[in-house]
A and B are shown apart, each in its own frame.
Chain A
Amino acid sequence: MSGTQWQLNPAGLRRPTPAAPGGSAVRGALDPRTGVVILLAASIAIMGPGGIRYVPAALAAGVLLALYERAWRRAIGLPAAAVAAAVVAYLLPRLAPWPVLGIVGVTAEFTLRLVAVGGIAAHLAQTVTPTRFTAALRSARVPSAFTVSGAVMLRFVPTILAEAKAVRDAMRLRGLGGLPAMLRRPVRSIEYFIVPLMASSLRSAEDLSASALLRGLGSQPRPTSIHPPKFGLPDVVALLGAMLLAGATVLTGGWG
């Protein structure tokens, strides 16, 4: 955290902000609402008819966000995954005139779209904590039925992933896991995996809901937040960048 002072400022965007009490604020991060708007715009553009031409723009946005966030692995991995999907989508069907390969190609093209949107989504997932996300949703006047249950869901997903890992390890230990076993007896494998996962998740769910209720989750008065969501310079830059990328796509016709 303290190491940021001397590091290079990519494009001068990242201004070190004073450490927040509790350290919960993310330095110079985008407002969650900006991220959601960019993500939805990318998703609607790419998943729409002829949306494949927006893929390079979305990829560029994803890489830029990854660089901004200093997630080097994603900055490299994202284009690599996109290239792999594009190779399968466009070069594999040319190997042999089998329509089956064509189906694989169409599916891979779909995967390519998902990768492009997923790059922006990964940025949100990495930078936005459930607390900030709910604060943003609240200030966007989303009904509390959705913010409360959504916050619980976001809070609980990592817990269940940890439980799932534990269950998988236990299955490995007993020689139950593995893809071949899964393919041989799919329903049996689902049972062996899901039942312990559910049982352990429900146990921790009891604790979580008790503590959440004690802390006043879902209580009538609107909760306030220590760091109210605010739009800042990074948001303006990000929105302008996204508009620039979309504009470039429209003007040049993209690829394909």
Chain B
Amino acid sequence: MERPLTQHIPDSGATLHIREYEAVGGYTALKKVLREMEPAQVTTLVKDSKLKGRGGAGFDTGMKWSFVPMNMPGPKYLIANADEMEPGTFKDRWLLEGNPHQLLEGMIIAAYAIQATDAFVFLRWAYKDAAREMRRAIADAYTAGYLGKNILGSSFSLEMQLHTGVGRYMCGEETALLNSLEGKRATPRAKPPFPQVSGLFGKPTIVNNVETLSWISHIVNKGEAWFKSLSYTADGGTKIYGVSGRVNKPGAWELPMGITMRELLEEHAGGMRNGYRFRGALPGGASTDFLTEVHLDVKMDFAGVTAAGSRLGTGTMVVLDDHTCPVGFVHNLEHFFAQESCGFCTPCREGLPWAEKILWSLENGTGVPADLDLLEMHTQMLGPGNTFCALAPGAMEPLQSALKYFREDFEQHIKEKKCPYAHHQH
């Protein structure tokens, strides 16, 4: 089983530095691209591979690049979204700390494809080790001639900067990230125009996730057929999956796209801890719908998880066990989303704290039956199409599915006027 993205990352947790990266074939794809390929050919190759974005939304990467108007004069930008702040998600940290040059090489090639002049790594504040390694990797890439003017003697030039954020979940949203890079509040922008046409400082901009960009050099080296062959399903490649919660071996693993939830949980995460039973899981981070025991054989690819009523999201699963209160679990999530709402649009700013307060009252034993109708109402009113960006609809996914799958728990809180879980947490 091949694992291209993580195979060279030392098990010790050390970082693969530039000489080690070059020794395992690093930067050969960049050389090939600069010598042999036109920018449009690179975009076509990525398009043919059907690489889908690994940041959560799963949009076709090559398609995104193809929206950039290539004849527009002036600067163009390429941004690696390394903000990774979705609760339950910890996959990009592995790539950033373990193999920063793999990301940089992917970024330089992507920048070449869209003829970008400047590139940014937008890195979240908390990733101190990643920031240190990324700073060093960028400096080493400049010294080696992979960045700067006339890269490797070609006519292509690219400047690269590391930007570390100051903590706000919204910064991971594509257009809010652009506002933040411009020194503003991270509020989302109206689309259209899409960032590919009018992004950072009003110039064409591509924003891709770290895992997505880490693929590019491999696809250039080995081709789209190889990429597709790595997968168990129609969505090509491998995926970095993760599991957290009360399992025996929480962690992250690079596995063929389309592995089942059961394999992930039982073979890789080592099954549930002794004394705990699996009740459900958010398959792709905090903003995805719960899946339950009946879904264990669902294939963890974009179509499979969607068909089961959730989303692959970031592919990092948070497990709910039978000792954890589902209402408390959802309360924690809605607390997060209410706190991290940028406040820019009214349904999100007003609705999320309301939903949070209702869940808090249920946990405190002061809930009433009508609260469940109110929560249902919120899942509609804050659903897709009613808010400016995807934060609130994402926040409603765990809530609506909890109301569906764990309704008896909600009702029990109201009936018993307390949280029925002995060791419940707030």
Question: A and B from one assembly?
Answer: no
